[in-house]
Structure 1
Amino acid sequence: MKLKPSPALVKSSLSAHSVVGLVIGYLMYLVCLTGALVVYKDVIQRWEQPDVAEFSEFDSTTVETALNDYLSRQEQSPESLYVVLPTDHERRMHLSDGEAEWLLREDGTLGAEPREGLAHLLVELHYYLHLPSNIGILLVSALGAMLLGLIISGLLAHPRIFKDAFRFRLGGSRRLEQADIHNRLSVWGLPFHLMIALTGAFFGLAGLLVLTAAPAYYGGDREALIADIYGGDPVVEAPVQKVDVAAALAELQQRAPEAEPIYLVVQKPNTSGQFLEIAASLPGRLVYSEIYRYDADGIYINHQGLSDGIAGRQILYSVYRIHFGHFGGEGTTFWVKLAYLLLGLALTVVSVTGVNVWLARRGGRDWVNDFWCAGVWGTPAAIAMAALGAVVGNFSLIGFFLAGLVACLGLSLWLRDETRSAMLLKWGSAILLLLLVAVHGLIYPAQVGQGPVLAVHTVALLLAAWFVWAGYRQAAGIKAAEASRGGLAV
């Protein structure tokens, strides 16, 4: 006897399949879009709080003042105390105990707390999809692994993909148009896309490997496994005293004059086991930093071997800079970041057009089209709404973002016309961006024409103009289609 599923079961299974495919497609789109924007998170942070003092020069007195100012306010010392140093690229100084954080004034005293604004929201969405970190990073890494599989399978499934690298069929069949855009951008950005997928998959899967390897090879001791991979901490036993930052920085200058300190950490402060770590970037190297260790007297202990240790350690510590484009010397950093932004946006378009091709092949239309339209064109509007919330006050930005997405989804499902919905959502994004620039300018009038504020406002205005133009094109297409149907009716 043959077992044949009922029509109702088939229909519900197809709906479930569509939901899963759309959710994965949207999450891939969201991770790619936020990843492209996160490249400029330092600019966005400076735009969010433009009235914070900025400087690139500091001395040991500034650092010691910050440490003493913090420790004098605390009854109990933290496990680690971080001071992020200003550089030519990040002209702000921070202090953090791992839970709270403060921006520092030029004299080293504690200033305002940094806002968890738009930059924080974008980072949370890109790293963790704003889920609990252990779950989110695994999900994002799984998306990276899926992206890697899609790239490889796409290459194998299209033997003419390189031969047709400059073939465009625009303005005709929507399926062919979307397929050509998808395939062309896939080929042109192939090395970048492979690198992003591979390094993106690494971040969470490395943690998963630690969870599985520690019980198998280290008796469950994860710290011992991590120490073998990245290098262990030194063991120090000395009388409690203030850390001599000046001596440590002077010794580092003698030992590695080319190194540029980017942050320092007082480990186990105000205990007999305290020691100082100075993380410094090295010119011409992709490793995020080398970490130099000193005792409280500023006497050199060792360095972690991230730049000259085993090859695997050097590779692992280079993944971050490769994935986010944080490399390039003076004069090249700007172009590296711009390239990462454009290539990241191209990967975003690839993820969207891939789903568009699938929708075109389905034929007809239903709620799936409305859901996808709201996701693609509602996300920029939701991000703009969250940015507006960040500027106006200390609101829950993830709440603003999700509320914006839900509103866009409701509009799309109500209209049941993805072309008209896309037009309205584009115009909505333009209005929100214009409002964002206006409100930010009213709150910070003295900074309107300066540095990051000018850059972000310029980009926002250009994007608003593009959304208006794109929406107008769709409106013209809708009118032409209605006129054509009216002519046929006559």
Structure 2
Amino acid sequence: MIALPQREARLLVALHGWSAVALGLLLYTVLATGTVAVMADEIGHWSTGALDARAPLTRPVDAILRRAVADAPPALREVVDLAASGRDGLRVSLRDAPGPEQRGIDVETGPDGRVLHRREGLAADIAGRDPDGALAAFLVGIHVRLYIPGLFGYVVTGVAGLALLLAALSGLAIHRHLLRDLFTLRVLASPPLAARDRHNLAGTWALPFALVLAVTGAFFSFAAPVGFPTLAWVSFGGDQQALFTALLGPPPAADPSPAAIADLDAVAADAGARAGAAPAFIRVAHPGRADARVTVYAETRPGDIAAATLVYDGVTGAFLERRPAVGRAPSLGGTLYGLMAPLHFGHFAGLASKLAWTAMGFCCCSVTVGGLRLWLVRRATARPGWAALDRATSVVALGLPLAMAGSGVGYFLGLADGATVESTAVGFLVAGALALVAGVALRRPALDGVLRVATGLALAALPPLRLAAGGPDWATALAAGCPAIAFGDAALLGLAIALLHRPGRALLRAGHDAALAGPPRP
């Protein structure tokens, strides 16, 4: 218990409540999409039906890279990136010098090395257009920047992180019985009291997680648009290139003379042995030149927090250095920086930590919506403005899951013609528009019931749609050592059952109440 004078306690309660009113729906949106984005890799395996358990970069990639470089114009050979793509494939991205009009080529190959897709144009237009991995990429993109153009999206999600930090700290300060609230849930109490107990219980248990999530999320959101430019302005007079040179060391002396590319398969194998984990991403700078460099970013090794980054000579394939997360030598700042991603995304202990992060994410979503409901419960009947916010809370809290389920429906419907990037976004927008229409046409609690049923039906439709689109069945997936597919189907069906549980009784009761109240008012 934190003892505060009455005046300060009231101010903190007001700050806690009004911050939820001002930023609660934005915070919920970022939390809900982040809860799903934690499982992005598993969603990718589930949606694509990938059955090869090997990491794509552990297969032979040298011939694929050489062929892509040979087919590309010389101007597009400044940087070549290799990463995994959908359906166990590999994506080779070639780019020219960085700039607002940077151009590039993306080549996607299957497990057998056969070219599946090739796109050429402005780098901003072709980046991220992986038809097979479109669903996972779309859901992550919503969380990271809400698809707001430029760096403004990162600023908005950063504001949500600060709102979470403010809510967590003010909630901690105004808790009268912190330890008691860890175990208090009066299920037989009156509805307002039971709702308050649920809010306090979930908020108390989720408090450490919320603080970690708020700090790391705000860091990632503000680092690019605010953090690095500010550091460059303070320390280097605004020269960001000088900042990155200080952090990463000077680039090798320019030598454009032709030279053969090192054996990338041998480099990847050596990196995997040194890191104790499979390569996750490979970058080749200036391939075919004497000053070429190969940087291998490894997966996080089980039991480690940060992943290894290894640098090789791009001509001889000789190992040059193991690079820290930030800086040119191991340091406390570099260690803290390296902790940010594992603590935010929860992938430091494999699936177990991801499931824990997902559960705590659901908990934080419940706290956010529940707290906003508690604030509105006494006000919504007094003033039309509060009633409108109460209805908007239902639309966002239940419409966002419906829209995310709609993106999955759109993805599978677009697989036939390879237009999943567009169809995934269309599915999200159509489902979101339906939620908005319901919000205008229906009152609570009928609105809540309809959105729950619609979301449950959309989630229940996803496993059959996956199978109809050519995805493997459970027996085939389990025999191939890929439990993510069966796990994903089971999780979706479980959520659907939870949402559809006794819907008829709830909707009949809501319809009876709406009939007694008369036609809805704007």
Is structure 2 residue 48 aligned with structure 1 residue 30?
Answer: no
Equivalent positions of 1:68-467 (< 5 A) are 68-76=66-74, 77-84=76-83, 93-97=90-94, 101-112=106-117, 113-115=130-132, 117-170=134-187, 172-207=189-224, 208-235=226-253, 237=255, 239-249=258-268, 251-252=270-271, 256=274, 258-281=276-299, 283=301, 284-306=303-325, 309-328=330-349, 333-364=350-381, 366-393=387-414, 394=419, 395-415=422-442, 417-444=443-470, 446-447=472-473, 449=475, 450=477, 451=482, 452-467=484-499
Aligned partners of 1:59 and 1:346: how far apart in 2?
A: 36
2:409–2:427 CA contact under 8 A, matched in 1: no
Would the alpha carbon gap of residues 202 and 71 (structure 1) be closer, same or farther in structure 2, given more than 3 Å must change?
A: same
SS of residue paired to 1:166:
coil
Aligned partners of 1:483 and 1:253: how far apart in 2?
A: 66
Q: Which moved more, 1:459-468 or 1:100-109?
A: 100-109
SS of residue paired to 2:297:
strand
Q: Summarize deviations over 1:205-249 as a string: whole Å, max 9, x none.
A: 222022222123212211221333455544463642222224434
Aligned partners of 2:271 and 2:264: how far apart in 1?
A: 11
Aligned partners of 1:62 and 1:303: how far apart in 2?
A: 23
How far has the Cα of 1:123 moved from its partner?
Answer: 0.6
1:294–1:302 CA contact under 8 A, matched in 2: no
Aligned partners of 1:444 and 1:61: how far apart in 2?
A: 25
Give, as a single letter, the amino acid of the residue that structure 2 aligns with 1:397: T
SS of residue paired to 1:83:
strand
Q: Which moved more, 1:299-308 or 1:148-157?
A: 299-308
Give, as a single letter, the amino acid of the residue that structure 1 aligns with 2:433: V
Aligned partners of 1:25 and 1:298: how far apart in 2?
A: 52
1:276–1:296 CA contact under 8 A, matched in 2: no
- What fraction of aligned residue pairs are identical, expressed as a percent? 24
Give the aligned partner of residue 10 of structure 2: none
TM-score normalised to structure 2 length = 0.79
Aligned partners of 2:472 and 2:429: how far apart in 1?
A: 32
How far has the Cα of 1:128 moved from its partner?
Answer: 0.2
1:175–1:361 CA contact under 8 A, matched in 2: no
Q: CA RMSD in A?
A: 3.1
How far has the Cα of 1:92 moved from its partner?
Answer: 5.1
Aligned partners of 2:280 and 2:288: how far apart in 1?
A: 23
How far has the Cα of 1:410 moved from its partner?
Answer: 1.8
Give, as a single letter, the amino acid of the residue that structure 2 aligns with 1:438: P
2:369–2:393 CA contact under 8 A, matched in 1: no
Q: Summarize deviations over 1:133-170 as a string: whole Å, max 9, x none.
A: 41111111121111111101111011313222211233
Alignment length, in residue pairs?
A: 458
Give, as a single letter, the amino acid of the residue that structure 1 aligns with 2:394: C
Alignment gaps of 5+ in structure 2:
1-16, 96-103, 118-129, 518-522
How far has the Cα of 1:201 moved from its partner?
Answer: 0.6
Q: Which moved more, 1:314-323 or 1:476-485?
A: 476-485
Q: Summarize deviations over 1:336-382 as a string: whole Å, max 9, x none.
A: 11111111111111111111111113141622222211111111111
Aligned partners of 1:85 and 1:49: how far apart in 2?
A: 12
Alignment gaps of 5+ in structure 1:
1-17, 486-490
Q: Which moved more, 1:97-106 or 1:259-268?
A: 97-106
Give, as a single letter, the amino acid of the residue that structure 2 aligns with 1:455: F
Would the alpha carbon gap of residues 443 and 91 (structure 1) be closer, same or farther in structure 2, given more than 3 Å must change?
A: closer
Would the alpha carbon gap of residues 157 and 268 (structure 1) be closer, same or farther in structure 2, given more than 3 Å must change?
A: same
How far has the Cα of 1:282 moved from its partner?
Answer: 5.7
Give, as a single letter, the amino acid of the residue that structure 2 aligns with 1:297: T
How far has the Cα of 1:20 moved from its partner?
Answer: 9.6
Q: Summarize deviations over 1:424-463 as a string: whole Å, max 9, x none.
A: 1111112222333222222216445424332222222111
1:193–1:347 CA contact under 8 A, matched in 2: yes
Would the alpha carbon gap of residues 253 and 22 (structure 1) be closer, same or farther in structure 2, given more than 3 Å must change?
A: closer
